[in-house]
């Protein structure tokens, strides 16, 4: 798949895909005889995983560490597992916080529906 097709498929801009390649998140992307990128299904799966890590707030530098370990093969599985387990702990905390925020918003919605007053913060001079 060319970069335009992969961009549409992954919903990442071609600029982002090139950047990910430049910083080493995407490696060994096949190039045709004209030098155009030709992405494989395996590349798509990896890009989707990068997107998932990024969407759950894993910093790019940590994704890069994971990608570097991945490129070294199965001997790094325990290190990659540690990274993912640590990230899962952070994601669980984020989810807990989101549930708290969701509940507070729900309470305000119910208060509004009942005609309750929502106090605004006092303005300081």
Domain with 48 in it = 3-113
Each residue of 8-30: pLDDT tens digit? 999 999 999 999 999 999 999 99
- DSSP SS3 for 118: coil
- Residue 121 resides in a domain: no
- CB burial class (10 A; 0-12, 13-18, 19+) of residue 119? exposed
pLDDT at 124 over 60: no
Residue 119 covered by a domain:
no
Residue 47 in any domain: the answer is yes
φ/ψ region of 45 (left if φ > 0, alpha if ψ in -120 to 50, else beta) reads: alpha
* Residue 68, domain CATH: 1.10.1660.10
Residue 124: inside a domain: no
Domain tally for the chain? 1
Predicted confidence (pLDDT) per residue in 33-83, tens digit:
999 999 999 999 999 999 999 999 999 999 999 999 999 999 999 999 999
pTM value? 0.81
């Amino acid at each position: 798949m060319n970069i335009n097709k992969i961009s549409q498929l992954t919903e990442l801009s071609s600029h982002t895909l090139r950047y990910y390649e430049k910083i080493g998140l995407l490696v060994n992307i096949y190039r045709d005889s004209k030098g155009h990128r030709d992405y494989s299904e395996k590349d798509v799966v990896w890009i989707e995983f990068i997107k998932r890590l990024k969407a759950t707030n894993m910093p790019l530098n940590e994704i890069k560490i994971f990608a570097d370990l991945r490129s070294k093969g199965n001997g790094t599985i325990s290190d990659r597992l540690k990274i993912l387990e640590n990230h899962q702990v952070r994601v669980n905390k984020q989810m807990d916080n989101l549930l708290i925020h969701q509940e507070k918003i729900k309470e305000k919605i119910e208060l509004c529906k009942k005609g309750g007053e929502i106090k605004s913060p006092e303005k300081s001079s």
